[in-house]
Homo-oligomer: A and B are copies of this chain.
Amino acid sequence: MAEVDAKILALQAKIKELKVAKKDASKEVEEMKALKAQQSKEKKEGSGFQLKVPKGTIDHKPAAALLRKKIFASLERIFSKHGGETIDTPVFELKEILAGKYGEDSKLIYDLQDQGGELCSLRYDLTVPFARYVAMNGLTNIKRYHIAKVYRRDQPVMSKGRMREFYQCDFDIAGTYDAMVPDAEILYILCEALDALEIGEYTIKLNHRKILDGIFELAGVPAEKTRMISSAVDKLDKLPWADVKKEMTAEKGLDEAVADRIGQYVGLKGKGREVLNKLQADEALNGVKSAKEGLADMAILFDYLDCFGVTDKMSFDMSLARGLDYYTGIIYEAVTELSAPPVVDDAPAVQDKKEKKGKKADKTVNEDGVDESAVGVGSIAAGGRYDNLVNMFAEAAGSKREKVPCVGVSIGVERVYAILEARRRAQEAKPRSKETDVYIMALGGGLLPERMKFAKKLWDAGIKAEFMYKAKPKAPAQWSQADADQVRFVAILAPNELANGIVRIKEQGVERAAGTDNGEEVSMDKVVEYLRERL
């Protein structure tokens, strides 16, 4: 600070000098103004040092971190039940690995500074590192899950939960198998996951890229416009047909008759096999090779979904198109009826991309992840089959290999978190951030060594226990700590009872008849057993 003061003084002297000499002092005046602005900014910020996290990131505080840990553990349990393996890739990749994978969203990639050596970027999603891993290790098959943070230098919208650092959770099955078998299992895993997370009612919208392509071909869409029209179709969950048709014709230059023929199909949707039966009876559509192939896939898929007992969760929805170009087979998106209010003050992080789409007509949702829109019915997971991505890497690196087809799902864990957090807030006043089951307190004499020995007894039995780090803690302080941490049991040590080998155990928050609220007297020999039975 003193240095800046000195500089300003020097400049003032110089300016005075120049003005006296009737010379141009404008450069010096500008410089002084800049210094003063900097100084006042620094003063406002307190010695130029701000205690904050970078824009678009947050600290997950203990209660939020604990809830996230539970969500992740629940998902990992399901993935490993299906033979899933996890891999842990570096948080940054070589810049060239990410280059050319994300279209216009490439500008959102975080680069590391060139400090000599290789140029690296923070990972943008978990799909590209997965494809790189499979190609690099020459794998022909793997079932892998990966729950980790990804990075996007997007304009953060904290209120909508759009963050620059957020978690993704992907499960993918790579390998050459019989049609629709892994696809059906992925859909079953998705149902298991959404059931286990208890996020409420959900539907899984299903479609097939080859059927969509067949419809476009049948309707007469020129091949080069297919992806563009596909991304217009994908907006039907947000916009009425009239608007989408207008986009197709006025903006994308499609003939009105062609658009109308598309319109006859993309409005179709329904639970179970209803739509499939209708399309299978459509002779014109079955005359198009890709549509016929897609319909054959869907028929097999429904048979398998019947085996897994989840057909009723599915809605065959011809308007589902998914933004990403790399899908080659079935595509799906799970939507929940529950719309999570944004969580602003602690740990938001619903990644919202659709919002942008509405504003910018030709913007596709360029992520394998999830369109976790905060408005209306929420998308909570999405995915599909992508049979060519791994080979893009192998080929780009100059090695010709057999195809490694993949099918995968990305579960919107940030949105799951937001839903569960909102429900928690509606239900209870204060979340628990630690899991302590027993608070050990002394009434009379401090009894620190006795509390320590008792704590060790519980710890060694696997029981979560704490005590106050004071030699002679006051009773009210101990009670209020146990209350603040919402610890279920209080173990009360008192000199007389201890002499008789007795500890009193009181269950907190339980209404009891008068005279019995001092807890139960339990013998020291039996206390571990007593607590274990109740925990």
Chain A interface (Cβ within 8 Å of chain B)? 45-55, 57-62, 64-66, 68-69, 80-94, 96-97, 110-115, 117-118, 120, 122, 132-133, 135-137, 142-144, 149, 151, 153, 165, 173, 175, 177-178, 181-182, 184-185, 188, 192, 303-304, 307-309, 393-394, 396-399, 433-436, 448-449, 452-453, 456, 459, 462-466, 469-471, 485
Contacts and interface: CB of A to CB of B under 8 A. Distances in A.
B115 A110 contact: yes
B94 A178 contact: no
Contact of A449 (B94, B144, B307): B307
B466 A82 contact: yes
Contacts of A143: 434
Contact of A177 (B91, B136, B142, B470): B470
Contacts of A304: 448-449, 452
Given A46-B399, A434-B85, A112 B110 contact: yes
Nearest to A48: B96
Contact of A69 (B86, B115, B173, B175): B86
Contact of A464 (B81, B165, B308): B81
A85 B485 CA distance: 11
Given A69-B86, A118-B54, A177 B469 contact: yes
A465 B449 CA distance: 50
A463 B87 contact: no
Copies of this protein in the assembly total: 2
A453 B307 contact: yes
Nearest to A42: B398
Given A62-B86, A84-B434, A55 B117 contact: yes
Contact of A469 (B88, B93, B149, B181): B181
A456 B49 contact: no
B52 A94 contact: yes
A102 to B, nearest CB: 15
Given A57-B92, A434-B84, A469-B178, A115 B49 contact: no
A433 B85 contact: yes
A85 B456 CA distance: 19
Given A93-B53, A309-B456, A60 B81 contact: no
Contact of A88 (B54, B59, B303): B59
Contact of A49 (B51, B112, B142, B397): B397
A93 B165 CA distance: 12
B181 A83 contact: no
Contacts of A433: 85
A113 B57 CA distance: 17
Listed from nearest, the 6 A-B pairs whose CB atoms lie closest are A46-B398, A177-B469, A62-B85, A57-B90, A60-B88, A307-B452
Contacts of A398: 45-47, 49
A260 B78 CA distance: 64
A54 B86 contact: no
Given A110-B115, A111-B112, A111-B113, A59 B456 contact: no
Given A49-B398, A52-B94, A81-B462, 10 more contacts: A55-B118, A59-B89, A65-B85, A65-B86, A83-B466, A90-B165, A111-B112, A181-B469, A303-B449, A307-B456
